[in-house]
């Protein structure tokens, strides 16, 4: 084989490899299951912002404002970073999801912080915990997450 034949063969192999990769590999972007989490991020940010705004306007206890004010700012920062595909987003989301599960466990263990838990509250709390665990795992193993959050 001469040099031209080798170069042609190399180009053909590179082209075939690119075709195979484009068909089988996950494309970056907020697609697939990430769309659901994107919607959830926006709704959670809006809800937490509204809750914080109402708390500020109605004179909520300082501890409430001290907790929910920074939490809203953190979630807002994380949502903006999510849409900018920042590299640190999966780790922060996993932390937030894990923290949420711990809070839910604390809620169940303390009987709803002193209130009587109805069966519906227990079920909804357990379902929320289940979704959080699923998203926690997803952000750890998903190929789309790995190729999307790279900036």
Q: Tell me what pLDDT residue 133 has.
A: 92
Unique residue bearing structure tokens 């929320």:
128
Tokens encoding 45: 């940010």
Cβ atoms of residues 88 and 81 within 8 Å: yes
Displacement of CA 37 from its chain's centroid (Å): 6
Closest among 82, 23, 76, 83 to 52, alpha carbons compared: 76
Tokens encoding 136: 């926690």
Nearest-10 crossing angle of helices 89-109, 119-141: 160
Q: What is the pLDDT along the chain (151 residues), one digit of tens a residue?
A: 577 777 888 888 888 777 766 655 677 788 888 999 899 999 999 998 998 888 888 887 888 888 888 889 999 999 999 999 999 999 999 999 998 888 888 877 776 555 666 667 777 888 889 999 999 999 999 988 988 898 8
Tokens encoding 52: 């914080």
**pTM confidence score:** 0.72
> From residue 78, how far is each of 24, 100, 122, 138 by CA, in Å?
30, 15, 29, 17
Closest among 23, 34, 22 to 145, alpha carbons compared: 34
């Amino acid at each position: 084989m001469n040099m031209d034949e080798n170069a042609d063969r190399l180009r053909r192999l590179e082209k075939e490899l690119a075709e195979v990769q484009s068909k089988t590999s996950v494309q970056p972007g907020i697609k697939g299951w990430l769309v659901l989490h994107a919607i959830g991020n926006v709704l959670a940010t809006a809800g937490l912002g509204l809750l914080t705004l109402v708390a500020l306007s109605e004179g909520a206890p300082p501890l409430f404002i001290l907790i929910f004010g920074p939490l809203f700012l953190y979630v807002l920062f994380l949502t903006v970073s999510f849409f900018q595909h920042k590299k640190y987003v999966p780790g922060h989301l996993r932390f937030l999801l894990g923290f949420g599960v711990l809070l839910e466990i604390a809620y169940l263990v303390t009987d709803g912080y002193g209130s009587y838990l109805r069966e519906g509250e227990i079920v909804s709390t357990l379902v929320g915990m289940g979704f959080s665990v699923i998203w926690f795992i997803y952000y750890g193993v998903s190929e789309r997450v790995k190729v999307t959050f790279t900036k």
